[in-house]
Amino acid sequence: MAKRKMILDLDTGIDDSLAIAYALGAPDVDLIGIISSYGNVITSKAADNSLRILELLGAPDVPVFLGEPHSSTTEHFDVMAISQQIHGKNGIGEVDLPTPKRAVEKQSGVDFLIDAVHQYGADLTLVPTGPLTNLAAALKKAPDIASTIGNVTLMGGALTVPGNVSHFAEANINQDAEAANAVFTSDLHLTMVGLDVTLRTLLTKHETQQWRDLKTTAGAKFADIVDYYIAAYEVTSPDLHGCALHDPLAVGVALDPSFVTTLDLNMFVQDEGVDYGRTIGDPARLNEPTNVTVALTVDQDRYLKTFMTYLTALFKQN
């Protein structure tokens, strides 16, 4: 067993599925659990999708937990039409995967996270790739985990580029800017892998064809899932000429920070007004020790090579 432990916090759509595959394919980490969130789909569907992906990839022993069903300031969540367009109504490109044999765990995702931090401490890595509602709830319930957890690397935000749901806001942060602000302004040290770098890491049908050529179930299913994603990007972002590897890049950076160049910064998240969801430097803390490391550029060629090495080897076996 690898010493380093990882928990993923996912609103399992297509790039979240790729994040699961990266975590399972990486040789230097032990995926100990997945917490579900809302965003690309509702929380219960995210959990179901995670279980299906784990089953497909030969990892049914990884437990999946339910996180919060909606933001910290609302009482209900509805999936946005754009999310269904990009990920499909089922969240995984309308691809049908077998019903998983394992059920969702009874323990809440927030309690699982707190217990895992207390158990593994500095050896634990958390990668949230959806809203930060679950992490904010855990920090509120057990503030001590902020100084105990080893690594938090999130996919979310944008510092040097516009947002993708408004001129200011990236989708994950925009789902619950209040929770995101609580996380960014806490004692937690975190790395932000935002649109600044994820829009530079692209996958095309050249890579999905390599998965089809494996002649395995996992290779074919993931090719179908990602081709749906690529087709959606051809409509929403035709200038990119591929689909962005948002969530799996966060997993990659959590395991190998040298993939990106960074800026250390104190940040806050705007939680009201026209720039709701904006992630920006905090002028009130300019001269204080910093707690956020922001990814600014990425070695996309080396990352993509690593990504394809890990996932192709995993798909060959399944």
pTM of the model: 0.95
Number of H helices, E strands in the chain: 12, 12
pLDDT band at 74 (very low <50, low <70, confident <90, very high): confident
Mean residue pLDDT of the chain comes to: 94
Domain boundary assignment for the chain = 5-316
Which burial class, exposed, middle or buried, applies to 142 when counting CB atoms under 10 A from its CB (0-12, 13-18, 19+)?
middle
Render pLDDT for 96-118 as a digit per residue (tens, 0 to 9).
999 999 999 999 999 999 999 99
Left, alpha or beta for 88 (phi > 0: left; psi -120 to 50: alpha)? Answer: left
Active site residues: 11
| Mean pLDDT of the region 218-231 | 95
| Mean pLDDT of the region 269-279 | 94
Q: How far apart are the first and last CA of the chain?
A: 21
Q: What is the DSSP string of 34-77?
A: EEE-SSSS-HHHHHHHHHHHHHHTT-TTS-EEE--SS-TT-S--
* Strand pairing report for 260-265 and 292-298: antiparallel
pLDDT of 126 > 60? The answer is yes
pLDDT of 57 > 60? The answer is yes
| Mean pLDDT of the region 161-178 | 93
pLDDT at 86: 84
More confident of the two residues 237 and 263: 263
| Mean pLDDT of the region 118-137 | 96
Question: Which percentage of the chain shows pLDDT scores above 70?
Answer: 99
pLDDT of 240 > 90? The answer is no
| Mean pLDDT of the region 157-166 | 92
CB of 146 within 8 A of CB of 183?
A: no
More confident of the two residues 5 and 242: 5
Tell me the CATH number of domain 5-316, given options 3.90.245.10, 2.40.50.840, 3.40.50.150, 3.90.1720.10.
Answer: 3.90.245.10
Residue 123 to residues 1, 32, 60, 119, 182: CA-CA distances in angstroms? 13, 12, 23, 9, 24
CA nearest 260: which of 292, 302, 309? 302
d(CA 71, CA 125): 23
pLDDT of 121 > 70? The answer is yes
More confident of the two residues 160 and 86: 160
pLDDT at 174: 94
pLDDT of 2 > 60? The answer is no
pLDDT of 140 > 80? The answer is yes
pLDDT at 234: 85
Q: At what angle do helices 300-316 and 205-212 cross, to 10 degrees?
A: 20
pLDDT at 133: 97
Render pLDDT for 299-316 as a digit per residue (tens, 0 to 9).
999 999 999 999 999 999
| Mean pLDDT of the region 150-179 | 94
